Chains A and B, each alone.
Chain A
Amino acid sequence: MIFFQGKKSRVIEYLFTIWVIFTLNFFLPRTMPGDPFLFISADEEGEEVAQFSEEQRNYYMAYYGLDRPLYSQYFSYFSDLSKGYLGYSLYYNQPVTIILLHRLPWTLCLVMTAVILSTVIGIVLGGFCAVYADRWEDRLLYFMLIAISEIPAFLVGLVLLFFFAAGMGLFPLSGAMTHFSGYDGFMEKTGDILHHAALPVIALTLTRISGIFLLTRSSIITVLTKTYIKTARAKGISGQRIFIKHIFRNAMLPIVTRVFLSLGSLVGGAILVENVFAYPGLGKLMRDAVMMHDYPLIQGIFLMVTISVLSANFIADLVYKKLDPRISDAAAADGH
């Protein structure tokens, strides 16, 4: 990638990328047909909507500066951004930054737990299978993991929801915590939050294990065939030491890169899964914001997601470089 090239042109290219992303970020939501202040029909049966009069609608358009020409809005968007101000939500009546800060922890809680769990399980199972490659344990696990991993997380979530939450009543159907329950202490509260997060995390984890699993398995198999392992074996170094010292360390490289690079796609999965479980994270907010045509909020969410994906890529690059100093530009580009 581009981060470690001292060349000026690379930096310019990088800035250009960011500018394009910010610009897309501004124009994409505004290209949607419809109007944030037009409420004719209700979204749900029995729902009450305040039908704004034409006068009232114009008042709000002016209030939020949406009646100004697009280029002028575009400039003020950039000047706001440079001040770190993400705007004011049209629908939620709150600064976008505050809304995001309230929602982010819940999504992070899901995503991070899922990443950690899936990575650990994937590595363990992958290592196991690499060692027992082509025995029945390997084949069974391989088959199962591939089969599960291809099912999108939200479908897994749906089944979990129907069987374990609705059918057996083992888990709550939705939400992130029990409200007004008067917790008896920190442990109870944590337990409750974990209980609510369990199914979404399982759904996200299950579908992510296989990527790590396959990578671990194949890279360990590859390392096992390398000559230096054979040499080490011939020298009589114990199996465990070989595993930890050589095999594992060498296999870690692609895994770490993979984990960071896959964060972006995880966001997509999380959006759907949060909608299945009505989890109060960014995913649900994103859908609602799109439904409401809340431009500043959509922009804010996009910005946050793209920035986190960018920084995940950046970290991936850093880690990659740290682990393998020989890294060349081409290899990093193929890292995906």
Chain B
Amino acid sequence: MNKVKILGSIFLIMLISFIFYVNSNKKREEPENRKPIINSPFEVDTIRLPGGDWGYPSPYAHYPRGPGGFKMCLIFDSLLERDEKGLIPWLAVNYEIQDNGKKFLFTLRDGVKWHNGKPLTMEDVKFSLLYASKHPMTWSYIFNKIETVEITDKNKVLVIVTNPGPVMLYNLGRTRIIPRHIWEKVNVPKEFTATEAVTGCGPYRLTEYSKEHGTYRFEAFKDYWGPAQRVKTLEFIPVSESILAFEKGEIDMSGLPTDILPRFLNDTRYKIVKSPGFWGYRLLFNMGETSSLKDKKVRQAISYGIDLDELVAKIARGAAIPGSAGILPPDHVMYNPFVMSYSRNLKIAKGLLSKAGYDLLNDKGLRKNKAGKVLSFQVLCSGREVRMVQILKERLFEIGININIQSVDGKTRDARVRNHEYQMAITGHGGWGADPDYLKIRFGHDFSRSNSPSVSGLPGYNNDTLNLLFHQQHMEMNKEKRRKIVFRIQEMLAEDVPDLPLFYTTGFTVFRPEKYNGWEFMFDHHSLAHSKLSYLEKKIRK
């Protein structure tokens, strides 16, 4: 049976040579295009960042999850922009708030061009705002919120909103301006994914996109009106292990888990930046009719029983800030540092529970009240938070509260939170740095009528003093006065603990300053790579 042997050996040889062939490829040098091009107006030729498919970067087609919207923002400019301190004029050179936040008057910049060379007109601005009010963009801020838009002068536009308040400035300012001549014929914007759909007036143009691989390439737009681009080409490539890719030089920036920090610390080639904590987990309480969580003392006891520092150390591996009971994170522009803090204290916790009537113990060491009601709760979470709940369970048992972990998939958890089918729940999301008006949506009473489901809508919670304060801050146009109200709100929330922020993550980011050092944050967001200003010249900001 020689033939079989021969066949077998041929096959083995083929296999081995295949592997070798494939290995020899590995040793190929880095692509040549890394060396700086002399005489180029750009500081760097190409910056590569971790990619992944987040959707076609039009204001309608990018995905609701993930950083797709930030890619879209590179292509599309808005009336205002966000820098490290706050809102800055962008397509609008200035704005005026009239009539207590009912009317907004924007003065537009001259000489702005679309990527196809056509000039941006006042009609485009008017069209964009009305269109976004009619068809919600994926990142929608003004859906159904615009009454009229009038062009009052050759470069002035007056927007009248349905729901007045200072937060509308932020919402109008962030809404992307799209070219009328392209979108006016489009009735199904989500399905409009032709190449024209990514014609904007922003600093970068999309030159390549692959959905299945998750790659994007952006190139600087020559005729950009604004600050010059410092980076000629931005490429997003998918990496499963961004640190490895960063070390190999495949990408120029990477998030960094705490355990890997030592690898890059004390090395002058690398710069490590800690992100502000605008992404956090919170523990929701269902304070509906029958729940023992309706009692403030029980919620406070739970807050005293939980060890937030332990969560930070174990779950976030140290890269987080323990939650502030006043909800707004310490990095928030309106953070009140003097709110009540619940550092772990078993004695106070137990005392509070006794005061709430749970002064008896059952045979398992759990607290119960005279009526025999035992303090035992289901905590709803998704698979990722199970470990967190395990720690909570361990700690709360020490004050006589039993926790049952109820873990479901993410979508189911969200649906049950929305329908109030939980006792306690954990959710994690971003946006903690946004305008404090979100406190009104989370804890204010009329959330049934409010349009954001941000969502929880805490069942069974109603505090009239707070509701009044929410309304006042919503209408208050004076910044300093508003800050005072928001401070007061945080104090009251910390006292009431309608829900408990567990921690705000502050990941580390590493990059090579030698290659590019222009990174900056937005005042309310936690990622360097997401800020459009990271890629632009810093000087003219007027």
Contact = CB atoms under 8 A, between A and B. Distances in A.
Interface of A: 32-35, 38-43, 45-57, 59-60, 63, 88, 91-94, 99, 102-103, 106, 120-121, 124-125, 127-128, 131, 166, 169-171, 173-177, 179-182, 188, 191-192, 194-195, 198, 239-240, 243-244, 277-278, 280, 291-293
Interface stretch (B177-185, B333-341, B446-454): B446-454
A291 B410 contact: yes
Given A176-B213, A191-B21, 5 more contacts: A47-B279, A50-B140, A106-B212, A174-B240, A280-B214
A174 B417 contact: no
Nearest to A278: B240
A173 B505 contact: no
Given A33-B415, A194-B18, A42 B428 contact: yes
A46 B64 contact: no
Contact of B5 (A50, A92, A128): A128
Given A47-B430, A49-B429, A198-B19, A33 B411 contact: yes
Contacts of A175: 213, 238-240
Nearest to B70: A48
Interface string B427-456: 111110000000000000000000111111
Contacts of B135: 59
Interface centre among A40, A47, A175 (most CB of B within 10 A): A40
Nearest to B63: A91
A26 B171 CA distance: 39
B90 interface: no
A40 B429 contact: yes
Interface string B33-48: 1000000000000001
Contacts of A173: 239-241, 244
Contacts of A94: 193, 211
A93 B190 contact: yes
A91 B138 CA distance: 11
A176 B56 CA distance: 20
Contacts of A40: 413-414, 417-418, 427, 429, 453-456
B26 A170 contact: yes
Contacts of B453: 38, 40, 51-54, 57
Contact of B31 (A88, A99, A181): A181
B11 A48 contact: no
B279 to A, nearest CB: 5
A174 B239 contact: yes
Nearest to B449: A54
A106 B191 CA distance: 25
B213 A99 contact: no
Given A34-B409, A170-B23, A173-B241, A45 B428 contact: yes
Best-buried of B188, B382, B415 by chain A (most CB within 10 Å): B415
Contact of B64 (A52, A182, A195): A52
B235 interface: yes
B532 to A, nearest CB: 15
Contacts of A124: 4, 7-8, 11
Contacts of A63: 188, 190
B526 interface: yes
Contacts, number: 228
B371 interface: no
Contact of A102 (B143, B211, B412): B211
B413 to A, nearest CB: 7
Given A42-B65, A194-B18, A179 B430 contact: no
Nearest to A126: B4
B8 A34 contact: no
Contact of B65 (A39, A56, A192, A198): A39
A221 to B, nearest CB: 14
Nearest to A40: B414
B139 interface: yes
B213 A179 contact: yes
Contacts of B540: none
20 contacts: A34-B412, A34-B414, A35-B414, A41-B413, A47-B66, A49-B64, A51-B429, A52-B64, A57-B453, A59-B143, A91-B63, A92-B63, A92-B211, A93-B56, A106-B212, A192-B25, A195-B22, A195-B26, A280-B212, A291-B411
Contacts of B144: 55
Contact of A179 (B26, B60, B238, B452): B238
B61 interface: yes
B352 interface: no
A57 B138 CA distance: 11
Contacts of A45: 279, 384, 428, 505, 507
Nearest to B241: A173
Contact of B451 (A48, A54, A166, A277): A54
- With a 10 A CB-CB cut-off, give which of A49, A180, A239 has the most chain B CB atoms: A180
B237 A179 contact: yes
B416 to A, nearest CB: 8
Return the 7 tightest CB-CB contacts between A and B, nearest first: A34-B411, A174-B240, A50-B64, A41-B427, A53-B451, A40-B414, A179-B237
A93 B221 CA distance: 26
A170 B25 CA distance: 10
B217 interface: yes
A285 to B, nearest CB: 8
Contacts of B409: 34, 291
A51 B429 CA distance: 9
Contacts of B18: 194, 198
A114 to B, nearest CB: 13
Nearest to B58: A93
Interface string B201-218: 000000010111111010
Nearest to B381: A41
B217 A180 contact: yes
Nearest to B417: A40
Contact of B4 (A55, A127, A292): A127
A38 B3 contact: no
Contacts of B456: 40
Contacts of B235: 179-180
Contact of B382 (A41, A53, A174, A191): A41
Contacts of B382: 41
A38 B33 CA distance: 43
A92 B63 CA distance: 7
Contact of B25 (A38, A54, A92, A195): A195
B67 interface: yes
B501 interface: no
B69 interface: yes
Given A34-B415, A47-B66, A51-B455, A174 B238 contact: yes
